[in-house]
Amino acid sequence: MSLFSFLFPSPVPKEHRKLLSAVKSMTGVTPKDPWVYLNAFRRKGNSKSQHQANLSYERLEYLGDAVLGVLLAEYLFDKYPKGDEGYLTSMRSKVVSRKALNRIAEKMGISKWMSNSRRGGRGGHTSVPGNTLEALVGAVYADRGWKATRTFVFKHMIEKHVNINSVEREIVSYKSLLIEWVQKNKKRFDFVLQDEEGSQHRKRFVFKLLIDD
């Protein structure tokens, strides 16, 4: 019996075996049900059974998003014992922003294992790497439970690929920063639409900020 057969006793096509080995390297987790992880890197319509259909890419992404949010809340709560609710919420939002998750996914090498149709690119979905990372978190949770997922997220994701000090200095929303400033200084403000351009599905709006007008 080969080492791969010992680790993954379920029948898995040869073309997927390198991916599963990469998953083990990325997460530090040995999969019990390989198909759950394959679903995390694939789209709907590819599941081989009803059980696997219940763990589709979309459902795993949904699950991973929720689990990741809770684990990040715990991680930040313990790391910043003096941080208030606003600070912790802001930090969590920065780490799970689409841009940040895409960056983490790239560092982990997730894009390498995504099919060509899911890599985004010109006219594609640039959020796909981050979405796939969420699906991978969901897969680990569905397959191995809370403890294994916690270890994956803390040790193999945050501590390895996230510079918390840099994240702390990042500005995610300049609009929110402006609103916070004018409210803190008790000023009146308003956003006035100046222009809009682009197609129906990719609109770009230009606003002017009026303060004490």
17: domain CATH number? 1.10.1520.10
Domain check: are 26 and 60 in the same one? yes
Residue type, 167: V
**Do residues 1 and 14 touch, judged by C-beta distance below 8 A?**
no
Domain check: are 156 and 198 in the same one? no
**Based on the structure, what is the number of domains in the chain?**
2
Torsion of CA 127, 132, 135, 141, to 10 degrees: -120
Rg (CA), the chain: 21
Amino acid 193: pLDDT: 83
Which residues in the chain land under pLDDT 50?
1-9, 44-46, 50, 117, 120-124
**Six-digit token string for 139:** 């897969």
134 is catalytic: yes
Of the candidates 117, 148, 152, the one whose C-alpha atom is nearest the C-alpha of residue 133 is 152
Domain check: are 132 and 197 in the same one? no
Residue type, 207: F
**pTM of the predicted protein model:** 0.72
Whole-number Å distance between alpha carbons of 81 and 88: 10
Range of the domain at 89: 3-172
Whole-number Å distance between alpha carbons of 21 and 23: 5
Catalytic residue among 33, 58, 61, 65: 65
Amino acid 17: pLDDT: 83
Catalytic residue among 58, 134, 143, 168: 134
